[in-house]
Structure 1
Amino acid sequence: MTGKEKPAWARGSLQTKTNNHINSLLPSEKPEWAFKAALEASFGLLDFMPEGDGEFHRFHVPEEKSGTRNGWYVLYLDSLPSGAFGSWKTGQAATWCSRKPTDPIEAERVRQRIEQAKVKRQLEQQQRHQYAAEKARQIWQRALPANPSHTYLVAKQVPAYGLRQCGNTLLVPLIHNGQLVNLQFIQPDGCKRFLSGGQVKGCYSPLGQIQAHKPMYLCEGRITGHALHQHTQCPVACAMNAGNLLPAGQHLKAKYPDLELVIAGDDDRLTEGNPGRTKALEAANQLGCSAVFPAWPAGAPVSLTDFNDLSRWMAGGAV
């Protein structure tokens, strides 16, 4: 361990709202209250007291959709109170300890607990992914081909190619290792969500067939993918969000080593840090491929962000 590296008990990737490190316990403070304070620093006010039984627990994160339980924690209350917590939604996790271990035996105990929490989290995640994948297949099999006159498709000026529909809800398939593992649901008003517990990281929604002589474009949303596919006649993989461009690209490059991949990024000019462009460039750099962005003509509104926006604006449609 280097002089600057934090020991295992002090590591954590989940940022608190105050950006303070989670590792403090006042002499008069009960450890479960201190652990709850650490949870609330990351997630907001909670209406329960954490159980210190060493078991894996899930909970509802304030401000997230009602009925969801994307938060998780495990807490040990003994001579060295410690635990871990995180979010299924973001994939982030952090560890907590009431005090610094006083000897190698205590340090090893904390290390083992961190590893046990990691294993439990991975097993729970696998179970959630498997359940969601089976549910996705059942929903997909019952669904009908999407109606080309669906309100959202008409508004975005894209075809219903490769989509299905249940009632007024569009279904977008997400693939991993050639298997359907998740669905994105799109309402007529554009509201989107994924199947609860479904895998997103490393997944993509495909358009067209991979061909040896054509590049594959990797973009964010399915609607953006349709615009790219229509104008280039090249296969497209839709990663669903900017943060998944790199994982999806890594999966594609591993599966198709000779594939010429091109990142087609969003250009979020009105968003601080321009996450669409930033993440696209980061992914392209790590994947060793090129990145392209919409070339905005003079007079194009700065509110436009992606290739579908560009296509509709150039065609004279409302955006």
Structure 2
Amino acid sequence: MSDDTIGLFRAAMREAGVVPPDVIEADGQLHRFHVEGDKAGSRNGWYALHLDGRAAGVFGSWKTGLRSTWAADGKRMSDTEREAFAKLIEAAKIKAQAERRAEHEARAIEARAEWDAAAPADPAHPYLVKKAVKPHNLRQRGGLLVVPLFDAFGLLWNVQRIQADGGKRFKPGRAGGLFSPIGDFNEPRTILICEGWATGATLHEETGHPVLCAMNAGNLLAAAKAARSAWVGAELVICADNDRQTEGNPGVTYATAAAKATGAKLIVPEFPEGEPGSDFNDLAAIRRKGARHGE
């Protein structure tokens, strides 16, 4: 009976879009597991299942916010069952958050050590030459550029490494809500917010305004909210990537949402017909090419 019940519970998880773990423990306790498609090592999936009396369970994902209940007889859970499961879920969520904070803090110590050991970046680094930007506050270890990622309080939590060929990798650890700043943030009147670091360097060099590089489109909103809280009087301008060759144009979509949510202005790079590119660094390269040809 128990195997059949666990099988039905698995089927309910799959029907809800959650791939169940290989082993289901029906002990009434909350268990966490890795969800397919999530970052390696993460355990955002969770479930609890008991077989005493009427078999019942609950499952979900902390990443997506999914939460679903299940009972063997198909009836609604009693208030007592719901309350017991709710206490389990809340306790496990608090524990998971504490574990995540501890992991982020440990990774931050590693990132700060790497940052401290790095030297100021060489202006002749191939990536900087290709992007035609100055190093600004970047550092370098061997052939890798090291991009610092701070929170709104000025604490360094992580770094991104950029290879000579432009390949990019984050260290494991915290990423959301962080940004790489370029320029002077002492009482700024205007702050530009963009995705990539080279785009931010171009924007700063062309406008003189300080720039926050969110590093990816999905982090624009968090970076904009952090900026709105940290620099209350500053005008925020979201400088989108124009991903016109990608379905749904995620650069403009995320930038528009971030601008609306924070009351920021929005600017989008427009490209000449037939020219490749998506961001303001690409647009600057097109202008330089035109200048060389006397256009």
Alignment TM-score, normalising by the size of structure 1: 0.78
User: Identity percentage over the alignment?
Assistant: 36
Question: Structure 2 vs 1, CA of residues 189 and 115 (structure 1 numbering), >3 Å: closer, same or farther?
Answer: same
Cα deviation for residue 108 of structure 1 reads 1.6
Q: Matches of 2:250 and 2:64 in 1, distance apart? A: 18
Q: Matches of 1:278 and 1:96 in 2, distance apart? A: 30
Spell out, residue by residue over 1:90-111, the C-alpha distance to the aligned partner (whole angstroms, 9 max, x if none): x434334333543211122232
Cα deviation for residue 156 of structure 1 reads 1.6
Cα deviation for residue 247 of structure 1 reads 1.1
| Contact persistence 2:19–2:35 (CA under 8 A) | no
Spell out, residue by residue over 1:99-155, the C-alpha distance to the aligned partner (whole angstroms, 9 max, x if none): 354321112223223322321221122112111111111111111222222222222
- 1:14 alignment counterpart: none
Cα deviation for residue 311 of structure 1 reads 0.5
- 1:73 alignment counterpart: 45
Q: Matches of 2:103 and 2:287 in 1, distance apart? A: 43
| Contact persistence 1:175–1:204 (CA under 8 A) | yes
Matched, 1:247 2:225: no
Question: Structure 2 vs 1, CA of residues 171 and 55 (structure 1 numbering), >3 Å: closer, same or farther?
Answer: farther
Give structure 1 stretches of 5+ with no counterpart: 1-25
Q: Matches of 2:7 and 2:139 in 1, distance apart? A: 48
Spell out, residue by residue over 1:36-95, the C-alpha distance to the aligned partner (whole angstroms, 9 max, x if none): 88379857797x43555635545484696xxx3134333323142223334xxxx43433
Matched, 1:49 2:29: no
For residue 260 of structure 1, what is the amino acid of its counterpart? E
Q: Matches of 2:248 and 2:192 in 1, distance apart? A: 23
Alignment TM-score, normalising by the size of structure 2: 0.84
1:118-133 equivalences under 5 Å are 118-133=93-108
Cα deviation for residue 244 of structure 1 reads 1.2
1:1-319 equivalences under 5 Å are 29-31=4-6, 34-35=9-10, 38=13, 48-51=22-25, 54=29, 57=32, 59=34, 61=36, 68-78=40-50, 79-86=55-62, 91-99=63-71, 101-176=76-151, 177-196=153-172, 198-212=173-187, 214-296=189-271, 298-301=272-275, 303-316=276-289
Give structure 2 stretches of 5+ with no counterpart: 291-295
The structure with the larger Rg is 2
Spell out, residue by residue over 1:195-228, the C-alpha distance to the aligned partner (whole angstroms, 9 max, x if none): 21x2222211000012546411011111110010
For residue 46 of structure 2, what is the amino acid of its counterpart? V
Question: Structure 2 vs 1, CA of residues 285 and 148 (structure 1 numbering), >3 Å: closer, same or farther?
Answer: same
Match of 1:316, SS? helix
CA RMSD of aligned residues (A): 2.9
For residue 243 of structure 1, what is the amino acid of its counterpart? G
Question: Structure 2 vs 1, CA of residues 311 and 33 (structure 1 numbering), >3 Å: closer, same or farther?
Answer: farther
- 2:293 alignment counterpart: none
Cα deviation for residue 268 of structure 1 reads 0.6
Question: Structure 2 vs 1, CA of residues 40 and 222 (structure 1 numbering), >3 Å: closer, same or farther?
Answer: farther
